[in-house]
Amino acid sequence: MKCIILCCDKYHIFAYHTIKTYEKLYPQNEFIYHIPYNEIKPIFIEKEFPKKIVFIKTPQPFKDTIRYLLKDSDDNDWIYWCSSDQYLINIDATIAKKINDVVKNIKDEKIYGVSFAYLNKTGEKLLKKNGDIIEKNGLRLAEKLSWESSKEITIWFHQYLRVKVLKHIFDKFEEPKVAKSLDKQLYLNKEDMYGFLKTGKYFTLDYKICEFGENTSRGMMTKNACENFQKYGIQKPSNFEVSDKELLWV
């Protein structure tokens, strides 16, 4: 399963941290991590995980980076979309593997996404009333609310998505000066963005199997990430200040 670790050269250390947490907490994963770089290839990641890493040299513009990462993928391929801004705190690896096996065998092209999380960032439940159910491999996946605006699904959360969903989103984005401005574009809830997204179906477990932390906030390293770096034996990057902020999705 292709896993895209969205990042840039400056943030490769956080991509490394993210991968370390997945490999420790979910060692039976089938992910092949595709990592973009502009000038500096992060060989230190490949040395630790030589059979799990694919480097892709991309241009610096944000939209071009996504195009390069997806150019060899068909629209209906599944990928695990994995921003380097988040890392695993814990996960039920057995259930996660079952979900991965179910996703690989979903043939219905109107199913656009599958995730581990049924809550959004503010803790609101995202399950659709009387929605469809997928029952396979001993799992019960429930349909989420249709993706009609920025509040139903968080694009930056780690999740399985069809390639065509990501292509559409980044095609509709205007090239940002800073990545954070992409959130503002999503919050506009324009029809040209969400008109296509709401035509698909999205599924999730209806209970929690994992917890995440965020690596950075507003250009600074979070307090929780700094503590987790120590836990994993990773040296804190000297080019990032550490904030007092803790950002946890638990």
Q: Which of 92, 109, 89, 12 is nearest to 55 (CA)?
A: 12
| pLDDT given for residue 121 in this prediction | 55
CATH code for the domain defined by 2-249: 3.90.550
| pLDDT given for residue 143 in this prediction | 93
| pLDDT given for residue 123 in this prediction | 55
Q: Per DSSP, what are the bridge partners of residue 131?
A: none
| pLDDT given for residue 250 in this prediction | 61
| pLDDT given for residue 213 in this prediction | 95
Residue spans of the chain under pLDDT 50: none
Instruction: Report the relative pairing of strands 111-115 and 159-162 from DSSP bridges.
Output: antiparallel
| pLDDT given for residue 124 in this prediction | 62
* Long-range CB contact pairs, 179-188, < 8 A, 24+: 179/62, 180/218, 182/62, 186/150, 186/155, 187/150
